[in-house]
Amino acid sequence: MGIRNADYDEKRLIDRGKAFRTGFLAAMATIVQVNAGADLLGITVEPFAAFQLQLWIPLSACLIDQVRRNAFDEVNTNVGKLFFLFWGIAGLIAIGKTIVNLSNGSEVLLTNATIGEPFGRLVMGIGMLVTSIVYFVKLRQDARVYQPE
């Protein structure tokens, strides 16, 4: 036998592994889509924009899957609530900054068939905001399901 740990939750570890698998598959799909899409459409992607796309899409997919499966350790704690609140606010700031810069003409999404950094920032902000929204919706659903009678 071994030492038993009361905090050990095998289902949570399995669900976390499935969420990491989702993130990995999203990373592979994003790499293929960015490179193949650029080749098929005849456009280029700035290196930093490609980095942002290949980082934030899989990270968002992994976090959303962890939240959906309740595999995130601090999912029902104040730390989790605070983390996802600031995560969503940071996403809103990124989206807002991009929209303001696009509207006043200081940045463009596409220049000479090249996808620029503002596009990557916009995807990053959307991913952060969607992750935060999914967290708070899931938290609300869990509160309704586990309400004491």
What DSSP string describes 23-49?
A: HHHHHHHHHHHHHHHHHHHT-EE-HHH
pLDDT at 97: 94
- What pLDDT digit, counting tens, does each position of 28-76 carry? 999 998 888 888 888 888 889 889 999 999 999 999 998 888 887 666 7
- What pLDDT digit, counting tens, does each position of 87-116 carry? 999 999 999 999 999 999 888 888 888 888
The token pair at 127 is 């991913």
pLDDT at 100: 95
- What pLDDT digit, counting tens, does each position of 21-34 carry? 999 999 999 999 88
Identify the band that residue 1 occupies on the pLDDT scale cut at 50, 70 and 90: very low
For residue 104, the 8-state DSSP code is: T
Percent share of the chain, pLDDT over 70: 90
Q: Compute the distance between CA of residue 98 and CA of residue 103 in angstroms, rounded to an integer.
A: 8
Bridge-based pairing of strands 110-111 and 114-115 is antiparallel
